[in-house]
Amino acid sequence: MKKIFWIAILVALFVPKANADEGMWLMSQIDRQLFELMEKKGLKLNQNEIYNPESIALSDAIVAIDGGMCSGSIISEKGLMITNHHCAYGDIHSLSTSEHNYLENGFWAMDMTQEMPIKGKSVTFLRGIADVTDLVNHIIDSLDAAGPRGLFFMNKVASVVDERFQSNPYEKSLSSEWRGSKYLLYFYETFSDVRLVGAPPAQIGAFGGETDNWGWPQHKGDFAIYRVYSAPDGSPAEYSDKNIPFAPKRFLTVSSKGVEENDFTMIMGYPGRTNRYSSSFEIKEKFEVLNPIVNSVRRSKLEVWKKYMDKSDEIRLKYADKYFGISNYTDYAKWENLCIDRFDVISKVEEREKMLLEWIGATPERLEKYGKVLDKLQKGYAMKADAEKHKGYFQESLVRGAEFIGIGQRFMGITRFLEREKKDSFDLSFPRAKEFYNIAKDLFASADVEADRELFKVMLGYYLREVPDSFYAESFKTLLQKFDNNVTAIADYIYDNSVVTDKARLEEFFSATRSVQDILNDPVIEVVNTISIREFNQQLSSIEKESGISLSEQRRLYVHAMYEMQKEMGMNAYPDANSTMRFTFGEVGGIDPRDAVKYHYLTTSKGILEKEDPSNYEFRIGDKLRDALEKEDWGRWGKDGVLYVNFMSDNDITGGNSGSAVLNGKGELIGLAFDGNRESMAGDLYFVEGYTKCVNVDIRYVMWVVEHYAGAANLIEEMVID
């Protein structure tokens, strides 16, 4: 899922007959009962072949990419790793130039010498898990006895836990499940020499673009291939030409057999974040306040960018990666709200809370511990609604708005460092000035000044309409009065005069010694000095202090109560996703999304040709792909004269699962998860039975692109194909 994280069958609380396969299970939760259910659905492996802390299992082929931003899997004994194209999008973009535009033309290494290292890229393997709940609770009690908890209390706890496991050679990460009801310690091994091996052009990897995002039918070849390298002794190492291809403990076999309806599927990956233990009040805030802000402001931002991207390939390349990243969550916010409304999620959670109230009221001990939780949550969220709205509009319009205005904060920051060092003048020998100068200069290569000028006009309009003037600094009020609140005039004044909005003015400014006042006189400072996020947070803190309600504490108690109730009532319960490895299983199948509409579970190459539109960037395919598709030479990757492209299953996923391997009952690779469907967009809050689907690229299409379109038979030869 683009930007895409998963877990849980809290649905058991909503729908008593919910199936146990709905969920993002901890690897340690795969018990005999769960395993027997998987066997009935088509699993052909034994339990230890999936996850085995004492030996080698499928989980040893599964990786977290860049700390869990995406998932991937190892597919050869020489360290080939496969994930989604949209997970590799930023890397491909960073390597692209106008002369070598790998986003538009694709990239294929025909031997290892052509593979391209990616600075900062990492791949992480899970090497073990330990339940340390009792130990952590003991440490917490000990630290509590020593004094009040500070801001970094849990960091202290994690540090003590780390000391207890010093003899273990792996990286360690402490994870809280159910907001502290259980603590697990994860052991990891991270490799940081990762090189790009193959990526199809955007016309394959991102076919359908924003239009098809979260939709069905889709026809994306959403994949990219990397190789993991290690030191000669097999240990993790920074990039070096002396490194060798990583030899994995386990790699996946690629299946050429394809999928049929009701086939068993399973996924292991690193879902980032779900909130299925959210209270009805928290969901209301997202539905009524946060999602509308994100959708409206970011959509306006994307419209400005697209207008300029359509004007030239040079501007498109500048904004391609940024547009891609922002558009995904913009659509998500829109469809999440539609699904919250359509599936009456808030009412269903309120019904769950009625059950919780009855359970709490059944004993005096529970009443003492949890009796006021729901009332306090309701009051706390109601009191901060307006303040949260103002903060949201500030963040989206000014903090995350126009980029040349955004770096104005860094420009202003130079003055703070000068004050700290008691200096009133500076030049490029001053480290903070040099750092800012380089950042500002680089921005001209990744952003268009005129596009940014128009964007600022739109963003400033949002800020003036939605944020009360009580948050405006006096200098900003003076600026508004000077231009009679005319956003166009204000924007033109700043962009025509500021040091940061013109490369020649920037270079001239930093070519001489300057004073603090020179910075303060810059027009951009009149905007960025208006307010800081700190003041919005202070308002929220004041509201919380006035109410006497700590929402973080009440949310913790709420989740603890839910967890205890589930355990006592024998319900299936898994914790929210938190970027640790999770397991989900289900079946291949289509969906009936609305009345009189049925969607098949497979799409074919025919659909690519049907959607082709040379006048629409998202649906152009180019002569090479068109000729290859029309030729219909599918080789071993077709079936009965048909090449299948994408398929749907009902695995439970969320962001972070992007690139996860979809496996059949024998543990063979049949596809890669890359998206959810629009009917599932409330899934991070609530699992809707029958409507939540996982959209996958069929591995047969991936292999056809590699072998027949790209001609990269060298990669196919590395893999084990069944």
Residues belonging to the active site? 86, 222, 658
Nearest residue to 229 via CA among 116, 102, 148: 116
With contact defined as beta carbons under 8 Å apart, do 703 and 30 qualify? no
Helix, strand, coil shares of the chain, percent, nearest 5, are 50, 15, 35
CB 503 within 8 A of CB 441: yes
Are 233 and 717 in contact by the 8 Å Cβ rule? The answer is: no
Contact 673, 271 (CB under 8 A): no
Query: In degrees rounded to 5, what are phi and psi of residue 503?
Result: -65, -40
Sign of the dihedral defined by the CA atoms of residues 341, 343, 348, 349, in that order: negative
Which residue is listed with tokens 């909503």?
14
Q: Where are the beta strands (DSSP E) in 66-119?
A: 70-74, 80-83, 107-108, 116-117
- Residue 295: CA count within 13 A, CB half-sphere: 15
Contact 140, 161 (CB under 8 A): no
CA angle, 464 as apex, 458 and 466 as ends, to 5°? 100
Task: Round to whole Å and give the CA distance between 506 and 508.
Answer: 6
**Number of residues assigned to the chain:** 722
DSSP-derived secondary structure for 147-177: S---TTHHHHHHHHHHHHTTT--SEEEEEEE
Distances in Å between the Cα of 612 and the Cα atoms of 27, 570, 622 are: 42, 52, 9
User: Quick one: tokens of 635?
Assistant: 């080789």
SS3 category, 186: strand
Instruction: Give the Cα separation of 391 and 134 in Å (integer).
Output: 39
- Residue 718, Cβ density class (10 Å: 0-12 exposed, 13-18 middle, ≥19 buried): middle
The helix/strand count (H/E) of the chain reads as 29, 23
Helix H or strand E segment including 306: helix 291-309
Token pair, residue 346, equals 């808030």
Cα gap 135→170, rounded to integer Å: 19
Query: Hey, is 316 helix, strand or coil?
Result: helix
Q: Is 30 exposed, middle or buried (0-12, 13-18, 19+ CB in 10 A)?
A: middle
